[in-house]
Amino acid sequence: MNKKAVALTIVVLGVVLPYIVISLPGVPKSITRPIMVGVTSLVLTGAALWWGLDPKSRMLVRLGTFESFKGPEYDASRTGIVLTVRAIFIGFGLLCLASGPLPLAGDSIRILRGEKPTHIVGTVVKNSSPAFGAWYLNQSVTLSSGSTEYKLYYSLQPLRIGETYELDVLPSSRLVLDFRGL
């Protein structure tokens, strides 16, 4: 599979598909949002771990400066650099696993056991988004009722500072399932 096909697949599965699933009529967002966030974070975590563990993946590409040092005198340092890069990818994958899918899985188990999501009402005092203001992918929101930061993924409506909202939140992962403006 070529690089363009892989990139297009990642964009479709990671960005477009979640919006389609969350926007399905008749299906509550409080059910589809955690499923899509869980699947996306699990796939990204698996990709990072796979890239780090797969012995066929090339850690040093031709554009890298270390690839230009060919010869037996550089073999030992090249091997050490490749192992370090692999360790970084594996560490990143494990960090993503601990911060994303595991808390979400714990919350999902609690929901399946019959616990209800936490219901919070407050005024937004801080709202931040990832690079280039991509608030439709991820919003980090802090309410006036506390200093906890909540995450809202895949929402076409931004939460605005100074406005009051009613949030349904998963306690461990701090994922916003659904929200309503007051």
Per residue in 9-35, pLDDT tens? 777 777 788 888 888 888 888 888 888
Amino acid 63: pLDDT: 47
Task: Indicate the range of 17-21, 73-77, 94-98, 151-155 predicted with least confidence.
Answer: 73-77
Amino acid 67: pLDDT: 57
Query: Does 109 or 72 have the greater pLDDT score?
Result: 109
* Mean pLDDT over the full length of the chain: 82
Whole-model pTM?
0.74
Query: Does 70 or 115 have the greater pLDDT score?
Result: 115
Per-residue pLDDT of 155-180, as tens digits, reads 888 899 999 999 999 988 899 999 99
68 pLDDT more than 70: no
134 pLDDT more than 90: no
Average pLDDT over residues 102-130: 87
2 pLDDT more than 80: no
Q: Determine the Cα–Cα distance for residues 83 and 180; give it in Å rounded to an integer.
A: 48
Neighbours of 99 (CB within 10 A): 13
Query: Does 126 or 73 have the greater pLDDT score?
Result: 126
Amino acid 126: pLDDT: 92
Amino acid 165: pLDDT: 95
Q: What domains are defined for the chain?
A: 3-110 (no CATH), 116-181 (2.40.50.140)
